Amino acid sequence: GEDVEQSLFLSVREGDSSVINCTYTDSSSTYLYWYKQEPGAGLQLLTYIFSNMDMKQDQRLTVLLNKKDKHLSLRIADTQTGDSAIYFCAESGYGGATNKLIFGTGTLLAVQP
């Protein structure tokens, strides 16, 4: 079945770049998403990339997609303490009306001042 994997933890210093990686197995995924979860809150959509794109940039966020290797990454430039959160990648298949998402395990990003 479909599977999405992420490393569990990443620690960076304030001002550095963070790179969070994700691998997935479903090659038919139409969209791939990055969600952010702050402590005690639900998930909020950060950004997404369509499967026929290689890169998408949105202010401090850069998403890279290597479809051949089924590898997705999220780069956060000039990481701030407010970026400390859990980051989930998710893939969306082109399957039916329900648009189920398959989520990774989440990466806890800790930003040290």
Partner 1 sequence: DVKVTQSSRYLVKRTGEKVFLECVQDMDHENMFWYRQDPGLGLRLIYFSYDVKMKEKGDIPEGYSVSREKKERFSLILESASTNQTSMYLCASNRGLNTDTQYFGPGTRLTVL
Binding site for partner 1 (CB under 8 A): 4, 6, 8, 30-31, 33, 35, 40-45, 48, 88, 92, 94-101, 103-106
Cβ closer to partner 1: 9 or 78?
Answer: 9
- Strand 9-13 relative to strand 107-112: parallel, antiparallel, unpaired? parallel
CB of 40 to partner 1, least distance (A): 8
Q: How far is the CB of 13 from partner 1 (least distance, A)?
A: 25
- What phi, psi does 83 have (nearest 5°)? -85, -10
Annotate 68-83 with DSSP letters as a single string.
TTTEEEEEESS--GGG
Q: Select 52 or 113, whichever has its Cβ closest to partner 1.
A: 52
Compute the least distance from the CB of residue 77 to partner 1, in Å.
Answer: 23
Residue 94 CA, distance from chain mean position: 19
